[in-house]
Structure 1
Amino acid sequence: MTALAWFLVGALGLVGLAIGSFLNVVVHRVPAGRSVVHPPSACPRCGNRIRPRDNVPVLGWLLLRGRCRDCGEPISPRYPLVELGTGVAFALVTWFVLDALAGERSTLVLPALLYLAAITVALGLIDLDVRRLPDAIVLPSYVVLVVLLGLASIAEGDWWPFVRALIGGASGFVFYFALAIAYPAGMGFGDVKLAGVLGLVLGWFGWGALLVGVFSGFLLGAMVSVLFIGLRLATRKSLIPFGPYMLAGCWIGVTVGGPLFSAYLRLVGLS
Structure 2
Amino acid sequence: MIMLVMVFIYGLVIGSFLNVCIFRIPEGISVINPPSSCSSCGHRLYFRDMVPVVNYIANKGRCKYCNASYSAQYPIIEILNALLYLMITLKYGWSFYSAAYCILVSLMVTVSLIDIKYMIIPDSLNVVGTVIGVSIIIYNSSLILDKLIGAAVGFLIFSMLSFFTGAMGGGDIKLMTALGLIFGVKGILFITVFSFLIGALVCSGLIALKFKSMKDKIPFGPFICMAAVLYIFCGNELINVYLKWIW
TM-score by length of 2: 0.93
- Where does the alignment leave 5 or more consecutive residues of structure 1 unmatched? 1-5, 99-105, 154-158
Quote the offset at 1:18 in angstroms: 0.9
> Could you tell me which amino acid in structure 2 is paired with residue 140 of structure 1?
V
| Corresponding residue number in structure 2 for 1:156 | none
Q: 1:59 to 1:133 in 2, by over 3 A?
A: same
* 1:245 Cα offset (Å): 0.6
* Cα gap change, 1:25 to 1:255, in 2 (>3 Å): same
Q: Whole-Å Cα distance in 2 between the matches of residues 196 and 112 of structure 1?
A: 17
2:160 counterpart of 1:172 = no
Aligned-partner residue type, residue 82 of structure 1: I
| Distance (whole Å) between structure 1 residues aligned to residue 230 and residue 139 of structure 2 | 20
Q: 1:42 aligns with which of 12, 37, 51?
A: 37
Q: 1:195 Cα deviation (Å)?
A: 0.6
Task: Give the aligned partner of residue 179 of structure 2.
Answer: 198
Q: Does 1:223 align with 2:167?
A: no
SS of structure 2 residue aligned to 1:187: coil
Q: Residue 129 of structure 2 aligns to a residue in which SS? A: helix
Whether 2:4 is the aligned partner of 1:9: answer yes
What is the identity, as a one-letter code, of the residue corresponding to 2:175?
Answer: L
Query: Over the residues paired in the alignment, what is the CA RMSD in angstroms?
Result: 1.7
**Residue 21 in 1 paired to residue 16 in 2?**
yes
Note the alpha carbon deviations across 1:95-128, whole angstroms, 9 max, x for none.
Answer: 1112xxxxxxx93211210111110111111011
> 1:260, CA displacement in angstroms?
2.0
Query: 1:100-115 alignment to 2 at 5 Å?
Result: 107-115=95-103
For 2:47 and 2:233, locate their aligned partners in 1 and report how far apart those are by CA, in whole Å: 37
Q: Alpha-carbon deviation of 1:8?
A: 3.4
User: Aligned residue for 1:264?
Assistant: 242
Q: Quick one: which amino acid aligns to residue 113 of structure 2?
A: L
Q: Which runs of 5+ in 2 are unaligned?
A: none
**Residue identity (%):** 32
Q: How far is 1:140 from its partner? A: 3.2
For residues 1-271 of structure 1, what are the structure 2 equivalents within 5 Å? 6-98=1-93, 107-147=95-135, 149-153=136-140, 159-184=141-166, 186-203=167-184, 207=186, 209-269=187-247
Instruction: Give distance in 1, aligned partners of 2:56 and 2:66.
Output: 14
CA-CA distance at 1:30 after TM superposition: 0.3
Specify whether residues 214 and 9 from structure 1 end up closer, same or farther in structure 2 by C-alpha distance, changes over 3 A only: farther
Runs of 4+ in 1 over 4 A off after TM superposition: none
Q: Distance in 2 between matches of 1:77 and 1:261?
A: 36
SS in 2 for 1:232: coil
TM-score of the pair, normalised by structure 1: 0.85
